[in-house]
Chains A and B, each alone.
Chain A
């Protein structure tokens, strides 16, 4: 018997003089002690469905439908604008845990205030209860931590505090909206383990919203897949993994790197996929995808394009009037070499120094020791003739596709500008021709030439960024988290594009990512970074299947993968539950 069920939920927002549906006819049910996953890409309505239960849709939203909770029938219209949750014992946690806590109040007081104002508890009794709750969500030294401020804690710890705060409201159902998306994979595994523990111990039921199909199908009991405001499939995790019924689910799986052999083409989900229930799933045509690997996964002997030997970069921070100097070894003695035309993938969690390494490689900072050489020439030698000579060979694609563009200039001229800087003698007509040719190469056309960055989608912007980097005909492309801000289906397009370009242009790619699946799919060789050091590197297959370093092993174990997890409680949580972020 379901504890909570939602029937025929419709949510509409007024826009341009009419009501635009955000969620259409959604039916969901949640059993007691169950974790229900809701998965979908941005705009699929997964978050809106949850917010409507919490009264957080905003005053302009219109909603209809019924909620059936524990034997009572409640009209959605009654809860949709009621934040106080007079009707439903629900609590919610969010993606940005640190932002969700008041920065100028201690975490303990933010939990304790609930007991003071709801139960009339004394300040001291309330704080004691808060400390108890902090302990129950796995925060060590809870009494000391209760008097800490959010900025003094890690993201994972703040998420635990958020969970404790949610529990303070004694909810029956916890709604978790992308609670681990901003966290490192090892911390993500710990938070998931904590949520599972709360189900077992407190009898909580959880709705877990995520964009990551691998994560929800390994962690949740049942999974609802949402697409364009509708639930297209709702099944047990095992069933969805084994045999997804709806073509969108199947396509979503096929878009995730890791479900196809490395270097093979990923599924690109068409933007106009018609999934209306009237059409039987079998009749929906998805383009057939060529599954053959596009590059030899066995690296052939090729000359090294990048050689990095013993490079170090330390940030020394010396405080005024202080004798001690605090040194952060962002990059500490890293060596590797990348054969021409291959991809070297670098995996690491936040703060491991991978972005500092990228800035060293594009010549943004000079290494304090060690040397970098490109195509047999040392970086110093190339930089001696000005940055241009170096930039001619090494280009970069950044994670922030919007921030890396001029918002007031159309994208065509931005591509031409790079061409003009590097080939000043090229006639203007030829420049335009080159820019158009490059746009075609990245799968765009002349209609995109005169668009402003905000008129393009995220995936299109990232294509433009790639075009802009490649127009100067570099040998090396450094991609720093190139797809981390994109939806899975768009990620698939960009990764496919990179594979195609590498094949056609003999590009050497340095791919930096926190996502092991992306790196595994794209790389010939892999390096694992931690605290400025490359703890392990080698051919991709070898590192992935047989990691030698303990850190690589725990990192790979914590990451959601295509592997099937038999018992969710055995979800690889690496170290014990109470251990927070890896130092």
Chain B
């Protein structure tokens, strides 16, 4: 168990370091950062001065080490917007994004699991086909289109929900539904196939012969096995949701990290963009770490050898 944890943590550190290195390389190959910061017609000596001020005249390896050290100490540079520390500006917006993503995930996994189980128990019959077609359908509509359609229906035509802004519970409903439902399709497909796989296992036949109440049989023998692969999906879909958040937050003007990212890219706010990239990478790595550890907890076959 200790070894599993150590391996997982080592993998986390490597992932984050790779993301940081990637940001560093992208910033250096995409042109001279000093020129990018200054107006196009800035004189050469001013550029040189900025270079010296930012340490851009030092050799690359040295710059890299300084860069990593600074990030490690929490110094992500200053945002262009009123010269606030980039980290603080971004962190301020994290809670509302987490709220949106969390609600989306809950919707995705509850709706998706329920539909997947339903489809599996009606395998090959009408409800199964209907659910599976629906799953592909919701997953293949682009989320901005889905979002706009929802706005047209609930905000413009029915005037039930606010079209954008927030954060409040009313404002949360539509964007969370967009995120949740498009992922629910994937979850439903996953749950359906893993349930069918479990139902075909010999241990299910054996368990079905025991004098057990039906609810207990499903809860104790069918569900745990069919839910295990969901852990993998959790790690995957988190990435999809984070990427989707940028679009969904923009469509619904949700004041979160995703919308801020789009805004900062447009303003070429390098410090903010790199902060978000590194934070998102760290979060993804943590999510996968959590997945690995949860597997080790829930699947005894991985625990011992």
Q: Is the CB of B216 within 8 A of A117?
A: yes
Residue numbers in A under 8 Å from B221 (CB-CB): 102, 105
Whether, in the assembled complex, B211 has its beta carbon less than 8 Å from a beta carbon of chain A, the answer is yes
Q: Is the CB of A101 within 8 A of B206?
A: yes
Q: Which of A102, A103, A117 has the most CB of B within 10 A?
A: A102
B37-63: contact bitstring with A at CB < 8 Å (1 yes, 0 no)? 000000000000000000000000000
Interface residues of B, dominant DSSP: helix
CB distance from B216 to the nearest CB of A (A): 6
User: A102's contact among B203, B213, B216, B304, by CB below 8 Å, is which?
Assistant: B203
Contact-size category for B: 20 to 34
Across the interface, name the chain B residue whose C-beta is closest to A111.
B210
Whether, in the assembled complex, A129 has its beta carbon less than 8 Å from a beta carbon of chain B, the answer is no
- A92-B209, A117-B211, A151-B301 known; A100 vs B202 contact (CB < 8 Å): yes
Whether, in the assembled complex, A580 has its beta carbon less than 8 Å from a beta carbon of chain B, the answer is no
Whether, in the assembled complex, A292 has its beta carbon less than 8 Å from a beta carbon of chain B, the answer is no
- A99-B201, A320-B7 known; A149 vs B300 contact (CB < 8 Å): yes
- A96-B202, A114-B211 known; A104 vs B216 contact (CB < 8 Å): no
Q: Is the CB of A84 within 8 A of B211?
A: yes
A68-112: contact bitstring with B at CB < 8 Å (1 yes, 0 no)? 000000000000000111000001101010011111111000100
Whether, in the assembled complex, B298 has its beta carbon less than 8 Å from a beta carbon of chain A, the answer is yes
How many angstroms from the CA of A114 to the CA of B300 in the assembled complex?
A: 22
Whether, in the assembled complex, A550 has its beta carbon less than 8 Å from a beta carbon of chain B, the answer is no
Q: Is the CB of B3 within 8 A of A113?
A: no
Residue numbers in A under 8 Å from B205 (CB-CB): 56, 94, 100
Residue numbers in B under 8 Å from A92 (CB-CB): 209
Q: Is the CB of B203 within 8 A of A101?
A: yes
Residue numbers in A under 8 Å from B210 (CB-CB): 113-114, 165, 169
Q: Which of A353-373 contact B (CB under 8 A)?
A: none
Across the interface, name the chain A residue whose C-beta is closest to B207.
A102
How many angstroms from the CA of A56 to the CA of B220 in the assembled complex?
A: 21
Whether, in the assembled complex, B6 has its beta carbon less than 8 Å from a beta carbon of chain A, the answer is yes
A39-58: contact bitstring with B at CB < 8 Å (1 yes, 0 no)? 00000000000000010100
Whether, in the assembled complex, A319 has its beta carbon less than 8 Å from a beta carbon of chain B, the answer is yes
Whether, in the assembled complex, B225 has its beta carbon less than 8 Å from a beta carbon of chain A, the answer is yes
CB distance from A129 to the nearest CB of B (A): 14
Whether, in the assembled complex, A409 has its beta carbon less than 8 Å from a beta carbon of chain B, the answer is no
How many angstroms from the CA of A425 to the CA of B61 in the assembled complex?
A: 59
**A to B contact number (C-beta, < 8 Å):** 76
Q: Is the CB of A91 within 8 A of B300?
A: no
Across the interface, name the chain A residue whose C-beta is closest to B6.
A321
Q: Is the CB of B6 within 8 A of A169?
A: no
Contact-size category for A: 20 to 34
Whether, in the assembled complex, B74 has its beta carbon less than 8 Å from a beta carbon of chain A, the answer is no
CB distance from B219 to the nearest CB of A (A): 11
User: B209's contact among A83, A96, A104, A110, by CB below 8 Å, is which?
Assistant: A83
Q: Is the CB of B209 within 8 A of A320?
A: no
Q: Which of B185-216 contact A (CB under 8 A)?
A: 201-203, 205-213, 216
User: B211's contact among A101, A105, A169, by CB below 8 Å, is which?
Assistant: A169
Residue numbers in B under 8 Å from A114 (CB-CB): 210-212
How many angstroms from the CA of A113 to the CA of B211 in the assembled complex?
A: 9
Q: Is the CB of B209 within 8 A of A162?
A: no
CB distance from B140 to the nearest CB of A (A): 31
CB distance from B2 to the nearest CB of A (A): 9
- A104-B298, A149-B301 known; A91 vs B201 contact (CB < 8 Å): no
Q: Is the CB of A105 within 8 A of B208?
A: no
Residue numbers in B under 8 Å from A151 (CB-CB): 300-301
How many angstroms from the CA of A104 to the CA of B225 in the assembled complex?
A: 8
A437-449: contact bitstring with B at CB < 8 Å (1 yes, 0 no)? 0000000000000
Q: Is the CB of B7 within 8 A of A104?
A: no
A305-336: contact bitstring with B at CB < 8 Å (1 yes, 0 no)? 00000000000000111100000000000000
How many angstroms from the CA of A430 to the CA of B207 in the assembled complex?
A: 58
| 30 A-B interface contacts by CB (under 8 A) | A54-B209, A56-B209, A84-B211, A92-B209, A94-B202, A99-B201, A100-B206, A101-B203, A102-B221, A102-B225, A104-B225, A104-B228, A105-B221, A113-B210, A114-B210, A117-B213, A117-B216, A118-B211, A118-B212, A149-B300, A149-B304, A152-B304, A162-B206, A169-B209, A169-B210, A169-B211, A320-B3, A321-B3, A321-B6, A322-B3
Chain B interfacial positions (CB closer than 8 Å to A): 3, 6-7, 201-203, 205-213, 216, 220-221, 224-225, 228, 298-301, 304
Q: Apart from A85-B209, A102-B207, A169-B210, what are 7 other A-B pairs with CB-CB below 8 Å?
A: A102-B220, A103-B203, A105-B220, A105-B224, A117-B212, A117-B213, A165-B206
